[in-house]
Amino acid sequence: MLQNIIICLIIGYLCGCLSTAYFIGKANHIDIRKYGSGNAGTTNAMRLLGVKAGLLTFLGDALKAFIPILLITYVFFKQDPNVNLLALYTGLGVVVGHNFPFWLRFKGGKGIAATGGVIMAFDWRIGLAAFIVFVLSVVITRYVSVGSLLISLLFPIGVLIIYPGDIHMLLVSVIFTVLAFIRHRTNIKRLMNGTENKLGQKVKVEEK
């Protein structure tokens, strides 16, 4: 069991290290980590490079979680009785790789698009609920960070409801929440101070 968990974490981490925002930034002749918020993720890509770049970043980051989880679930470990747990560990590896890619000196994104891909691949029911919560919260507040934090909270709640009694899966899902809050700590401070950027605000491409 431990060996399979380690394999899934490694596979996930390597997939997560594929930084979509970084590649899109380079295609536009910038290192996205040096501009705007310095975050190699969907929101920063959208604010710096436009809606198309943001959508491509989101899609790439979600797919790099979605695809390996499907492979783990339906190809590599489909006969394993703990396949759902292994899928979660794969997703955890993806988010850690996205947040801390070794080849970019561990400076990546905040992991929300990747987490969304994990949730949808893991259980579409939780994924659908997370999508609805994210959209409604962003529409109402116009803060992407609020939607991001809410879906990270929804993940373990969904696991608790749909997979009652599976403490191991619950604990792993809680790690996603902890990682999201750690990566959003500056956003949380700005939300409390009323200085958080709202959806649609553009950021000048000025190097830090």
Amino acid residing at 183: R
Within-domain flag for 199: no
Mean pLDDT, to the nearest integer, of 184-208?
76
- Model pLDDT, residue 38: 80
Within-domain flag for 91: yes
Joined together, the tokens standing for residue 77 give 């470990």
Within-domain flag for 202: no
Q: What is the pTM of this model?
A: 0.90
Within-domain flag for 204: no
- Model pLDDT, residue 7: 96
- Model pLDDT, residue 41: 85
Within-domain flag for 156: yes
Confidence at 43, pLDDT banded by 50, 70, 90: confident
- Model pLDDT, residue 204: 56
The boundaries of the domain holding residue 65 are 2-193
Average pLDDT, the chain: 91
Q: How many domains does the chain have?
A: 1
Within-domain flag for 26: yes
- Model pLDDT, residue 197: 80
Cβ atoms 192, 108 nearer than 8 A? no
- Model pLDDT, residue 132: 96
Within-domain flag for 208: no
- Higher pLDDT among residues 130 and 207, named by residue: 130
pLDDT tens per residue, range 19-41: 999 999 999 888 888 887 788 88
Within-domain flag for 171: yes
Measured CA to CA, the distance from residue 48 to residue 132 in angstroms comes to 26
Cβ atoms 58, 113 nearer than 8 A? yes
Three-state DSSP state, 195: coil
Cβ atoms 90, 72 nearer than 8 A? yes
Backbone φ/ψ region at 205: left (φ over 0), alpha (ψ -120 to 50), beta = beta
Three-state DSSP state, 152: helix
Joined together, the tokens standing for residue 96 give 């850690």
- Higher pLDDT among residues 66 and 107, named by residue: 66
Q: How much of the chain, in percent, has pLDDT values that exceed 70? A: 96
